[in-house]
């Protein structure tokens, strides 16, 4: 009887310890996980989490070109259209598709407007944008598929780092700020907007010429457009493609 | 599969869990298959080598026991050892041998010999080969009976916690425990808890201390010609700490994981940097290897039974062979030679030192005397590690030359030391981790208790706090993931 009581005590002790450990690790992960709240780069996915269900009429999907060019409040004030900029700096093709899929889990937009800047590059040039996009979604089958699609054919990168995330985000102890511990309050009411308080000189007129010359779509680009189309058919939204203007000098024009 | 990898985080609980669930008869088979799987994760083909070593030494031991005639016993012993050493030679020392042969031929004006092989060094070959050889010698000496159960013996050779980097176990300890697996009770809670704590501590030493220190060490040793005394001394000092944290960390994980499964592996490190002499250092550092060399090289050579000169010769040979065991390169030979030199000079000068202490009325049973002895021993060891790390004799000598010819105290008053790869924050983390290591080492030294045993004796809240903090610290401050070169444990090179 004594042995049995001791055995049960130990089982309970192990179970409670495991639960406490799990909570401690989860809290630590929540502090360390990738967040974009302030700074020159942006991701509106945190704001999406705080957006009430089925409240978005129009979604603009794309990179920084979207949050720089499209001001959702304008559509609301002028036309009563509830708009959301689902934009992440440097958003690549695969990320835009899976982030849109993620949005559709809680929203039923009538129109999805996708910026086609993703057609002009395959891989991220900025390391931070790679993490920003690959680590934006909650861990799920879609987040795993995103990593698989993005790194398809890449044998050098350890995909496990992106599946498990800890190998990447644990280094953020070097840069933790207030909003890693507490929620960034504007996330509750912004709808894909970024707030900047910078004061600077006006940009000079960009030196880029007409940037786009006609060319064949690559297989990967074609696949991306077809996937978006299939998604629009399945989910019942109207799909619009747009090429939003952006500041570019001669070298960076695609 | 490294111990500090997610694969091992999945592998170990599955193996340990199944080990406890399976019927007693099947447990050794399960552990054996898991060990082979663990080894195959490194290289599938080299499993054949470990199988070959297992079969040869298994058969040799049985034959030695069966045969009556001593000369035949000896022939079988030599044959069994010889075959295994030949394999070790081919995979580990052939390139070194050929390089030196070609240099000699070049000096004599002849052409070189082309290397017909292009072989990768199988992980752990030095460890399991020595373990198997030790067993055969023990059987020959009648210290242990020959094992008749091939599963038990194969598990002894390839037990995964200690397969790739030790401790180099003795049949009296590990094999006898393996034979008892079928009679053991299912699960020992206290062993499991203390084993888990020891594993966490090993991971902490490896990922937080060793891999962090390695950042500075690699920078300094690679660019030694741009640095002065203080940076070079710091590099040597941090390597001293890195190799200890790396290797003792690995041993802790090995010992801890075996203990979770109720198997007690031998202690491999006992606060070596608290040693008061080089002799004392080798009683505390890589204990499994140093005792192996004592029992199977030094004593067969005659030990100290054939006069002082012969003893010194035997010491030199043992240490040089030990150096060579660590690596097929002259800098390792130099490292071994240096330790042999320390030992011999220490013994020769002992009477003179004692007379000097008597003359100067030096108190020898006081803290300050022992502290000085520890500091001197530590500095001698740090100096020798330069040869170990430098990867070539030439580099080691140039490193030392530069260290003593470029004295630059001004670097201590600026930010130069924070430009060696670790900024202030990272140095701070390293310093704090080293303080923790010092505290645990003092606990070991004073109370003769390992961390697992100490934690086990505490109240629940403290046990939980230590374990949770260790997990969090490893997950947050460990050097792994992006920008991490997956530096395997240093001793894997052997």
Instruction: Find all residues with CB under 8 Å of B338, minimum gap 6, and list them.
Output: B383, B384, B387
pLDDT grade for B488, boundaries at 50, 70 and 90: very low
CA nearest neighbour of A124 among A99, A162, A92 = A92
List of chain B residues whose C-beta atoms are within 8 Å of the C-beta of residue A17 = 464, 467
For the cut 60, the answer to whether the pLDDT of residue B485 exceeds it is: no
Q: Compute the nearest-CA separation of A167 from chain B (Å).
A: 4
Query: What distances in angstroms separate CA A3 from CA A15, B187, B260, one per listed residue?
Result: 18, 14, 21
A/B interface, count of CB pairs below 8 Å: 43
Dihedral of CA A19/A24/A26/A27: which sign?
positive
Report how far residue B75's alpha carbon sits from residue B65's, in angstroms, rounded to the nearest whole number: 13
pLDDT grade for B486, boundaries at 50, 70 and 90: very low
DSSP three-state, residue A52: coil
Q: Compute the nearest-CA separation of B332 from chain A (Å).
A: 33
Report how far residue A96's alpha carbon sits from residue A227's, in angstroms, rounded to the nearest whole number: 11
Q: Do A170 and B425 touch (CB under 8 A)?
A: no
List of chain B residues whose C-beta atoms are within 8 Å of the C-beta of residue A166 = 475, 481
How does pLDDT run across B167-187, given as a tens digit for each residue? 999 999 999 999 988 887 668
pLDDT at A1: 60
Task: Please tell me whether the peptide bond between B167 and the residue prior to it is cis, using omega within 30 degrees of 0.
Answer: yes
List of chain B residues whose C-beta atoms are within 8 Å of the C-beta of residue A20 = 464, 468
Q: Do B471 and A164 touch (CB under 8 A)?
A: no
| Chain A interface mutation, best of B481, B483, B484, B486, highest count of A Cβ atoms under 10 Å | B481
pLDDT at A106: 94
Question: What ipTM does this complex have?
Answer: 0.84
How does pLDDT run across B329-360, given as a tens digit for each residue? 999 999 999 999 999 999 999 999 999 999 99
Report how far residue B344's alpha carbon sits from residue A156's, in angstroms, rounded to the nearest whole number: 50
Q: Do B482 and A10 touch (CB under 8 A)?
A: no
pLDDT at B393: 93
CA nearest neighbour of B480 among A166, A223, A254 = A166
Hey, which residues of B are catalytic here?
326
Read off the pLDDT of each residue in B121-145 and give the average, rounded to a whole number: 92
For the cut 50, the answer to whether the pLDDT of residue B196 exceeds it is: yes
For the cut 70, the answer to whether the pLDDT of residue B410 exceeds it is: yes
Question: Is B4 in contact with B203 (CB distance < 8 Å)?
Answer: yes
Q: Compute the nearest-CA separation of B468 from chain A (Å).
A: 6
**φ and ψ at residue A43, rounded to 5 degrees:** -145, 130
DSSP three-state, residue A242: strand
Report how far residue B136's alpha carbon sits from residue B60's, in angstroms, rounded to the nearest whole number: 7
Structure tokens at B191: 């062993």
CA A130 distance to own-chain centroid:
10
How does pLDDT run across B238-296, given as a tens digit for each residue? 999 999 999 999 999 999 999 999 999 999 999 999 999 999 999 999 999 999 999 99
Question: Is A136 in contact with A165 (CB distance < 8 Å)?
Answer: no
List of chain B residues whose C-beta atoms are within 8 Å of the C-beta of residue A161 = 481-482
For the cut 60, the answer to whether the pLDDT of residue B492 exceeds it is: no
pLDDT at B487: 44
Q: Do B480 and A167 touch (CB under 8 A)?
A: yes
Q: Do B476 and A173 touch (CB under 8 A)?
A: yes
Q: Do B482 and A168 touch (CB under 8 A)?
A: yes
DSSP three-state, residue A190: coil
Please name the residue of chain A whose CA is at the shortest distance from the CA of residue B470: A21
Structure tokens at A67: 């949050």
Identify which of A25, A161, A168 has the shortest CB distance to residue B471.
A25
Mean pLDDT by 10 residues, chain A (254 residues): 80 94 95 75 82 94 90 91 92 94 95 93 87 89 94 88 90 87 82 72 62 78 94 96 78 55
């Amino acid at each position: 009887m004594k042995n049995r009581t001791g055995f049960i005590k130990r089982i309970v002790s192990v179970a409670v310890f495991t639960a406490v450990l799990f909570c401690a690790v989860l809290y630590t992960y929540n502090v360390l996980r990738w967040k974009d709240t302030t700074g020159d780069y942006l991701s509106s996915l945190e704001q999406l989490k705080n957006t009430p269900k089925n409240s978005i009429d129009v979604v603009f999907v794309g990179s920084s070109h979207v949050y720089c060019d499209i001001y959702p409040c304008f559509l609301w004030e002028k036309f009563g259209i509830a708009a959301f900029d689902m934009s992440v700096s440097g958003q690549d093709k695969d990320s835009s598709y899976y982030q849109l899929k993620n949005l559709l889990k809680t929203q039923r937009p009538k129109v999805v407007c996708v910026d086609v800047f993703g057609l002009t590059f395959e891989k991220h040039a900025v390391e931070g944008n790679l993490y920003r996009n690959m680590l934006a979604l909650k861990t799920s089958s879609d987040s795993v598929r995103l990593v698989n699609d993005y790194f398809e054919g890449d044998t050098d990168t350890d995909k496990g780092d992106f599946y498990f995330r800890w190998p990447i985000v644990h280094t953020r102890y070097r840069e933790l700020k207030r909003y890693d511990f507490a929620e960034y309050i504007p996330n509750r009411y912004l709808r894909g907007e970024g707030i900047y308080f910078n004061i600077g000189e006006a940009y000079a007129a960009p030196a880029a010429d007409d940037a786009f010359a006609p060319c064949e779509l690559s297989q990967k680009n074609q696949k991306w457009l077809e996937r978006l189309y299939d998604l629009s058919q399945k989910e019942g939204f109207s799909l619009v493609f747009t090429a939003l203007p952006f500041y570019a000098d001669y070298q960076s024009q695609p | 599969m490294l111990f500090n990898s997610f694969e091992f985080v999945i592998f170990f609980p599955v193996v340990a869990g199944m080990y406890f669930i399976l019927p007693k008869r099947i447990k050794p088979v399960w552990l054996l298959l898991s060990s082979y799987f663990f080894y195959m994760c490194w290289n599938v083909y080299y499993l054949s080598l470990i199988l070959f070593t297992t079969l040869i030494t298994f058969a040799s031991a049985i034959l030695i026991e069966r045969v009556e005639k001593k000369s035949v016993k000896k022939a079988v012993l030599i044959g069994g050892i010889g075959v295994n050493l030949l394999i070790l030679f081919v995979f580990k020392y052939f390139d070194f041998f050929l390089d030196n042969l070609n240099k000699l031929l070049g000096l004599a004006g002849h052409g070189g010999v082309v290397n017909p092989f292009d072989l990768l060094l199988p992980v752990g070959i030095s460890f399991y080969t020595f373990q198997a050889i030790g067993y055969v010698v023990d059987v020959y000496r009648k210290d242990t009976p020959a094992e008749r159960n091939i599963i038990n013996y194969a598990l002894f050779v390839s037990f995964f916690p200690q397969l790739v980097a030790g401790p180099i176990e003795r049949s009296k300890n590990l094999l006898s425990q393996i034979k008892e697996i079928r009679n053991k009770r299912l699960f020992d809670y206290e062993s499991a808890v203390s084993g888990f704590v020891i594993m966490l501590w090993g991971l902490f030493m490896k990922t937080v201390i060793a891999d962090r220190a390695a950042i500075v060490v690699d920078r300094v040793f690679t660019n030694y010609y741009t640095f002065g005394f203080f940076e070079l001394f710091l590099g040597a000092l941090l390597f001293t700490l890195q190799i200890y944290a790396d290797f003792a960390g690995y041993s802790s994980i090995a010992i801890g994981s075996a203990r979770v499964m109720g198997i007690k592996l031998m202690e491999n490190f006992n606060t070596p940097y608290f040693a008061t002499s080089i002799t004392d250092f080798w009683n505390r550092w890589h204990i499994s290897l140093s005792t192996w060399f004592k029992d199977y090289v030094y004593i067969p050579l005659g030990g100290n039974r054939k006069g002082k000169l012969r003893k010194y010769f035997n010491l030199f040979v043992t240490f040089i062979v030990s150096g060579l065991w660590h690596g097929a390169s002259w800098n390792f030979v130099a490292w071994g030679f240096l330790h042999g030199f320390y030992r011999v000079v220490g013994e020769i000068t002992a009477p003179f030192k004692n007379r000097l202490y008597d003359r100067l009325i030096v108190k020898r049973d006081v803290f300050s005397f022992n502290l000085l002895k520890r500091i001197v021993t530590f500095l001698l060891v740090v100096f020798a590690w330069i040869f170990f790390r430098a990867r070539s004799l030439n580099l080691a000598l140039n490193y030392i030359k530069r260290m003593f010819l470029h004295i630059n105290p001004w670097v201590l008053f600026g930010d130069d030391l924070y430009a060696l790869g670790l900024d202030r924050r990272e140095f701070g983390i390293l310093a704090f981790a080293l303080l923790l290591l010092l505290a645990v080492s003092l606990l070991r030294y004073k109370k003769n208790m390992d961390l697992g045993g100490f934690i086990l004796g505490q109240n629940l809240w403290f046990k939980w706090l230590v374990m949770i903090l260790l997990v969090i610290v490893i997950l947050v401050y460990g050097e792994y993931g992006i920008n991490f070169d997956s530096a395997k444990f240093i001793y894997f090179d052997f």
